[in-house]
Amino acid sequence: MKGQAAIDFLVSYGIVLIALAITIIILFKISINNSYTSSPYCTPSPGFSCGFFTINALSGVLSIQMDQATGGPIIVSGLACSSDFNASGNMPEFGNIFVTANAIYYPNGRFTQNTIYSGSADTFSLYCYGTGGIATGQLGSAFTGYVWMNYTVPNYGQRTQLVATVNAKYT
């Protein structure tokens, strides 16, 4: 009799503990992956920094202020925003894959080369792209992606590099 009571006790409390553990794990996973509760961030590459940034829910336009501290002026000749890297891991997977100034990748159908001096900033607007084209979303949800910049350093040549990782809430 006592043995049966002990087994009943262990089984009933064991089931309750397992159910509680599963519930806690599910709640933890939901809150970690919930784009409505994730904090916006912009993580710049060395030599760059992010000012403000926002992405429009209806148009998929990212507005981002980029500062640079490379030691000299740079001439920006293109930007790209993509939700993923290409197969080589060095360029955008979607959208402006060659990081050009082609007007179709920018709102108002234009991109003007900008010179950013070391220690100063400029604001850029560009479309972000995901697997289905321009990355639009629901208000309050988040877009996570990468920003590349095609720029020239006078007397050193042209280069294209990843300049920031962003997680921006759609507004």
Q: What is the pLDDT of residues 69-113, one digit of tens each?
A: 988 999 999 999 999 999 988 999 999 999 999 999 999 888 988
Residues 76 and 122 in one domain: yes
Residues 65 and 28 in one domain: no
Read off the pLDDT band of 13 (50, 70, 90): confident
Read off the pLDDT band of 3 (50, 70, 90): confident
47 close to 68: Cβ distance less than 8 angstroms: yes
Domain around 162: 41-169
Residues 98 and 56 in one domain: yes
The pTM (predicted TM-score) of the whole model is 0.77
Residues 1 and 72 in one domain: no
Tallying the residues shown for the chain, one arrives at 171
Instruction: Tell me the pLDDT tens digit for each residue of 118-166.
Output: 999 999 999 999 998 999 999 989 999 999 999 999 988 999 999 999 9
Which CATH number fits the domain that encloses residue 164?
A: 2.60.40
Q: Token pair of 147, please?
A: 């920003």
Residues 20 and 97 in one domain: no
Phi (first) and psi of residue 102, to 5 degrees: -55, 125
